[in-house]
Amino acid sequence: MAFVNWLKRHFVVIAGLFTLGYLLLPNVIVTIFSFNDPKGRFNYEWQKFSTDAWTDPCGVSGLCDSLTLSLQIALWATLAATLLGAMIAFALVRYRFRARGAVNSLIFLPMAMPEVVMAASLLTLFLNMGIQLGFWTILIAHIMFCLSFVVIAVKARVMSMDPRLEQAAQDLYAGPVQTFLRVTLPIAAPGIAAGALLAFALSFDDFIITNFNAGSTVTFPMFVWGSAQRGTPVQINVIGTAMFVIAVLLVLVSMLISNRRNKQKA
Amino acid sequence: MTDVTNKNDNTGDVRLSGISKTYGGFTAVHPLDLTVPQGSFFALLGASGCGKTTTLRMIAGLEEPTSGTVHLGDQDVTRLPPYKRPVNTVFQSYALFPHLDIFENVAFGLRRRGIKSVKKQVEDMLELVQLGEQARKKPHQLSGGQQQRVAVARALINHPKVLLLDEPLGALDLKLRRQMQLELKRIQTEVGITFVHVTHDQEEAMTMADTVAVMNAGRVEQLGAPADLYENPKTTFVANFLGTSNLIEAEVDTKSGDDIVLKAGGGKLVLPQARCTAPTTTGGKVLVGVRPEKISLAHADDAGEIPEGRNRITGTIADASFIGVSTQYVIDSPVCPELAVYAQNVDRDARLVPGAEVVLHWAPAHTFGLDAAQDIDAGIQEEAV
Amino acid sequence: MATVTEAPPLAPAPEKKPPRKRGRWTPYLLLLPGLAWLFVFFALPMVYQASTSIQTGSLEQGYEVTWHFSTYWDALTEYYPQFLRSVLYAGSATVLCLLLGYPLAYLIAFRAGRWRNLIMILVIAPFFTSFLIRTLAWKTILADNGPVVEALNTLHVLDVTSWLGMTVGDRVLATPLAVVCGLTYNFLPFMILPLYTSLERIDPRLHEAANDLYAKPSTTFRKVTFPLSMPGVVSGTLLTFIPAAGDYVNADLLGSTDTRMIGNVIQSQFLRILDYPTAAALSFILMFAILIMVTLYIRKSGTEDLV
The last residue of one of the domains, among B236, B263, B282, is B236
> For all residues of chain A together, what is the average pLDDT?
91
Rounded to 5 degrees, what angle do the CA atoms B230, B236, B238 make?
35
Contacts of A100 in chain C (CB under 8 A): none
Min Cα–Cα distance to chain C from B288, Å: 17
Task: Kindly tell me if the per-residue pLDDT of C268 is higher than 70.
Answer: yes
Please state the rounded mean pLDDT for residues B277-292.
87
Q: With an 8 Å Cβ cutoff, are A187 and B109 in contact?
A: no
Predicted pLDDT at B5: 44
Nearest CA-CA partner of B105 in B117, B116, B118: B118
Q: What is the 3-state secondary structure (H, E, C) of chain C?
A: CCCCCCCCCCCCCHHHCCCCCCCCCHHHHHHHHHHHHHHHHHHHHHHHHHHHHCEEEECCCEEEECCCCHHHHHHHHHHHHHHHHHHHHHHHHHHHHHHHHHHHHHHHHHHCHHHHHHHHHHHHHHHHCCHHHHHHHHHHHCCCCCHHHHHHHHCCHHHHHHHCCCCECCECCCCHHHHHHHHHHHHHHHHHHHHHHHHHCCCHHHHHHHHHCCCCHHHHHHHHHHHHCHHHHHHHHHHHHHHHHHCCHHHHHHCCHHHCCHHHHHHHHHHHHCCHHHHHHHHHHHHHHHHHHHHHHHHHHCCCCCC
Domains identified in chain B, total number: 2
Residues A212 and A232: their CA atoms lie apart, in Å, by: 22
Task: Kindly tell me if the per-residue pLDDT of C237 is higher than 50.
Answer: yes
| CB proximity list for B343: less than 8 A, separation 6 or greater | B296, B297, B326, B327, B329, B352
Q: With an 8 Å Cβ cutoff, are A172 and B155 in contact?
A: yes
Chain A interface includes B263 (CB < 8 A):
no
- Reported as a pLDDT band with limits 50, 70 and 90, residue A265 is low
Task: Kindly tell me if the per-residue pLDDT of C303 is higher than 90.
Answer: no
Chain C interface includes A108 (CB < 8 A):
yes
- Domain with residue B279: its CATH number is 2.40.50.100
- A4: buried, middle or exposed (CB in 10 Å: 19+, 13-18, 0-12)? exposed
Q: Kindly report, residue by residue over B76-113, the tens digit of the pLDDT.
A: 999 999 999 999 999 988 999 999 999 999 999 999 99
In a domain, B140, yes or no: yes
Are residues B120 and B48 part of one domain? yes
Task: Kindly tell me if the per-residue pLDDT of C21 is higher than 70.
Answer: no
In a domain, B8, yes or no: no
Are residues B271 and B231 part of one domain? no
Query: φ and ψ at B196, to 5 degrees?
Result: -115, 120
Please state the rounded mean pLDDT for residues A124-150.
94
In a domain, B378, yes or no: no
Are residues B221 and B258 part of one domain? no
Are residues B182 and B271 part of one domain? no
In a domain, B4, yes or no: no
The chain A residue lying nearest C238, using CA atoms, is: A112
For the ranges B225-229, B271-275, C262-266, the lowest mean pLDDT is seen at B271-275
- Reported as a pLDDT band with limits 50, 70 and 90, residue C189 is very high
Q: Considering only residues C65 and C22, tell me which one the structure prediction assigns the higher pLDDT.
A: C65
Predicted pLDDT at A4: 86
Report the amino acid identity of residue B172.
Answer: L
The CA-based dihedral angle spanning residues A44, A49, A51, A53, taken in that order and rounded to the nearest 10 degrees: -20
Min Cα–Cα distance to chain A from C55, Å: 12
Query: φ and ψ at B132, to 5 degrees?
Result: -55, -35
Neighbours of chain C (3+ CB pairs under 8 A): A, B
Q: Which of B93, B113, B141 sits opposite A265 (nearest CB)?
A: B141
Neighbours of chain A (3+ CB pairs under 8 A): B, C
The last residue of one of the domains, among B182, B210, B236, is B236
In a domain, B385, yes or no: no
Chain C interface includes A236 (CB < 8 A):
yes
Are residues B258 and B229 part of one domain? no
- Reported as a pLDDT band with limits 50, 70 and 90, residue C20 is very low
Please state the rounded mean pLDDT for residues A158-173.
92
Residues B66 and B25: their CA atoms lie apart, in Å, by: 12
In a domain, B1, yes or no: no
Q: What is the pairing mode between strands B311-322 and B326-332?
A: antiparallel
Q: Kindly report, residue by residue over B332-341, the tens digit of the pLDDT.
A: 998 888 899 9
The chain C residue lying nearest B237, using CA atoms, is: C4
Task: Kindly tell me if the per-residue pLDDT of B123 is higher than 50.
Answer: yes
Contacts of B222 in chain C (CB under 8 A): 1
> For all residues of chain B together, what is the average pLDDT?
89
The chain C residue lying nearest B64, using CA atoms, is: C20
Task: Kindly tell me if the per-residue pLDDT of B1 is higher than 80.
Answer: no
Q: Which of C2, C6, C11 sits opposite B219 (nearest CB)?
A: C2
Are residues B320 and B193 part of one domain? no
Task: Kindly tell me if the per-residue pLDDT of A266 is higher than 90.
Answer: no
Q: Which of A164, A178, A266 sits opposite B95 (nearest CB)?
A: A164
Q: With an 8 Å Cβ cutoff, are A170 and B91 in contact?
A: no
Chain C interface includes B14 (CB < 8 A):
no
Contacts of A193 in chain B (CB under 8 A): none
Domains in chain C, ordered, with CATH?
A: 68-301 (1.10.3720.10)
Are residues B174 and B42 part of one domain? yes
Q: Kindly report, residue by residue over B50-63, the tens digit of the pLDDT.
A: 999 999 999 999 99
Calculate what percentage of chain A has a pLDDT beyond 70: 98
Q: Kindly report, residue by residue over C47-101, the tens digit of the pLDDT.
A: 999 998 988 877 777 777 788 888 899 999 999 999 999 999 999 999 999 999 9
Contacts of A237 in chain C (CB under 8 A): 133
Alpha carbons within 13 angstroms on the beta-carbon side of residue B356 total 19
Are residues B276 and B153 part of one domain? no
Q: With an 8 Å Cβ cutoff, are A175 and B137 in contact?
A: no
Region for residue B288 given its phi and psi (left: phi exceeds 0; alpha: psi -120 to 50; beta: otherwise)? beta
Are residues B98 and B198 part of one domain? yes
Q: Kindly report, residue by residue over B234-279, the tens digit of the pLDDT.
A: 999 999 999 899 999 999 988 888 889 998 877 889 999 888 888 8
Q: Kindly report, residue by residue over A57-66, the tens digit of the pLDDT.
A: 888 889 999 9
Are residues B192 and B330 part of one domain? no
Q: With an 8 Å Cβ cutoff, are A90 and C291 in contact?
A: no
Please state the rounded mean pLDDT for residues B347-367.
91
Mutate to test the interface with C, among B33, B84, B375 (most CBs of C within 10 A): B375
Task: Kindly tell me if the per-residue pLDDT of C211 is higher than 50.
Answer: yes
Mutate to test the interface with B, among C3, C10, C15, C22 (most CBs of B within 10 A): C3
Nearest CA-CA partner of C279 in C63, C90, C89, C88: C63
Q: Which of B60, B93, B141 sits opposite A266 (nearest CB)?
A: B141
Residues C129 and C139: their CA atoms lie apart, in Å, by: 16
Chain B interface includes C10 (CB < 8 A):
yes
In a domain, B7, yes or no: no
Mutate to test the interface with C, among A7, A35, A124 (most CBs of C within 10 A): A124
The last residue of one of the domains, among B219, B236, B253, is B236
Partners of residue B267 on adjacent β-strands: B264
- Reported as a pLDDT band with limits 50, 70 and 90, residue C32 is very high
Sign of the torsion angle spanned by Cα atoms C302, C303, C305, C307: negative
Mutate to test the interface with B, among A96, A161, A171, A258 (most CBs of B within 10 A): A171
Task: Kindly tell me if the per-residue pLDDT of C215 is higher than 80.
Answer: yes
- Domain with residue B33: its CATH number is 3.40.50.300
Q: With an 8 Å Cβ cutoff, are B97 and A165 in contact?
A: yes
Nearest CA-CA partner of C252 in C139, C130, C88: C139
> For all residues of chain C together, what is the average pLDDT?
86
Please state the rounded mean pLDDT for residues B286-292.
93
Q: How many helices (H) and strands (E) does chain A have?
A: 13, 0
Predicted pLDDT at C23: 64
Contacts of C16 in chain B (CB under 8 A): none
Are residues B232 and B255 part of one domain? no
Are residues B172 and B301 part of one domain? no
Residues C21 and C144: their CA atoms lie apart, in Å, by: 69
Query: φ and ψ at B97, to 5 degrees?
Result: -70, 115
Q: With an 8 Å Cβ cutoff, are C2 and B375 in contact?
A: no
Domain with B358, as residue range(s), is 244-371
Contacts of A175 in chain B (CB under 8 A): 81, 83
Partners of residue B311 on adjacent β-strands: B362
Going from the C-alpha of C165 to that of each of C17, C93, C138, C150, C159, the distances in angstroms are: 60, 16, 20, 19, 10
Residues C94 and B350: their CA atoms lie apart, in Å, by: 76
Q: With an 8 Å Cβ cutoff, are A112 and C101 in contact?
A: no
In a domain, B379, yes or no: no
Chain C interface includes B259 (CB < 8 A):
no
Neighbours of chain B (3+ CB pairs under 8 A): A, C
Contacts of A239 in chain C (CB under 8 A): 130, 133
